[in-house]
């Protein structure tokens, strides 16, 4: 099974040290048991937050990522909007700076990710430590 994952980044190589929704860009990758492949870079065009955990910001980000057919969100951290995002995606937290390392961890846990995706709106976020 192939899935598309959006990685929160500013420089294309490392995850941002901010919440997922605060990234300047999202690098989209196709992942499967065999590995990962870069697809494209998408600019974060969401509105600036007017209040903390602004639902308009979550709606903006989820809108353009759903159009790209993204299923997984990958970042070092998420804000309170994670509760809105997990209804449409599987948010995954990794403890690494480099996107390639995060994608490798994701692939090693792909069965867990797919199981969570299949739960629909009841899904939870996943934290990958290894």
Question: How does pLDDT run across 22-62, given as a tens digit for each residue?
Answer: 999 999 999 999 999 999 999 998 877 666 677 788 888 99
CB atoms closer than 10 angstroms to residue 111: 10
Count helices and strands (H / E) in the chain: 4, 6
Could you tell me which of 127, 103, 119 has the C-alpha nearest to residue 31?
103
Average pLDDT over residues 16-21: 95
Whether residue 105 has pLDDT greater than 70: yes
Average pLDDT over residues 60-74: 96
Quote the domain boundaries for residue 49. Answer: 3-128
What are φ and ψ of residue 17, in 5° steps?
Answer: -95, 30
- Which ranges in the chain belong to alpha helices (H)? 55-67, 82-85, 99-108, 110-117
Whole-number percent of the chain with pLDDT over 70: 95
Task: HSE, CB side, 13 Å, CA atoms: give it for residue 85.
Answer: 29
Mean pLDDT over all residues of the chain? 93
Confidence (pLDDT) at 93: 97
Confidence (pLDDT) at 45: 87
Domains contained in the chain, number: 1
Identify the H or E element spanning 89. Answer: none
CB 104 within 8 A of CB 49: no
CATH code for the domain in which residue 82 is found: 3.30.420.130
State the Cα–Cα distance between residues 117 and 130, nearest whole angstrom.
20
Checking DSSP bridges between strand 25-32 and strand 3-9, what pairing results, if any? antiparallel
CB 28 within 8 A of CB 43: no
Confidence (pLDDT) at 48: 74
Average pLDDT over residues 74-87: 94
């Amino acid at each position: 099974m192939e899935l598309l994952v959006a990685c929160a980044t500013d420089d294309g190589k490392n995850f941002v040290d901010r919440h997922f929704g605060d990234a300047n860009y999202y690098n989209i990758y196709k992942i499967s048991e065999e590995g990962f492949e870069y697809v494209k870079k998408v600019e974060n065009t969401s509105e600036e937050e007017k209040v903390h955990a602004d639902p308009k910001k979550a709606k903006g980000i989820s809108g353009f990522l759903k159009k790209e057919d993204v299923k997984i969100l990958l970042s070092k951290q998420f804000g309170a909007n994670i509760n809105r995002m997990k209804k449409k995606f599987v948010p995954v937290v990794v403890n690494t700076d480099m996107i390639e390392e995060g994608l490798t961890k994701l692939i090693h846990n792909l069965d867990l990710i797919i199981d969570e995706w299949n739960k629909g709106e009841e899904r939870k976020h996943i934290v990958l430590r290894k």
